[in-house]
Amino acid sequence: MPHFSSDAEIDRIGRGLLDCSLPKAEWTHAGHFAAACWLLRQADRDALRDMPGLIRRYNSATGVLNTDSSGYHETITLASLRAARAWLAERREVALHEALNELLASRYGRADWLLEYWSRALLFSVAARRAWVEPDLLALPF
């Protein structure tokens, strides 16, 4: 079942992340990927550079603490951005909502896809939350 029916829905999520107006209930797994894909398609944005700060700021604005055990997670964010970037690179001519729905329906759209590449202990470590940590099980394919 598709998550998004239009690019306008994704645009609303991306802009809501930027100005911290996105309802917290919409900051879901699909919402994270929507914002990531939206940023990746913005010509004036560097998603890998901008997304970490945007998530930290959004978390703070919605009462989520960015600590060693909650809030922003660097490795998950950057790995997800890399997956989304690779996905979109192969779908340049596809509407954003269609490409995003395909991504969410793929193995990379599953919330647990990262555990194919990182052990649970490493992925959820303080080190991985604070900074990029290379996978310890398999190299990322992108």
* pLDDT at 2 (0 to 100): 83
Which amino acid makes up residue 14? Answer: G
pLDDT tens column, 63-80: 999 999 999 999 999 999
**Is residue 133 a part of any domain in this protein?**
no
**Is residue 23 a part of any domain in this protein?**
yes
Number of domains in the chain: 1
**Is residue 130 a part of any domain in this protein?**
no
pLDDT tens column, 93-123: 999 999 999 999 999 999 999 999 999 999 9
CA 121 to chain centre: 21
**Is residue 127 a part of any domain in this protein?**
no
- Write out the residue range of the structural domain in which residue 95 sits: 7-111
**Is residue 80 a part of any domain in this protein?**
yes
Mean pLDDT across the stretch 36-59?
Answer: 96
- Residue-level length of the chain: 142
* pLDDT at 92 (0 to 100): 94
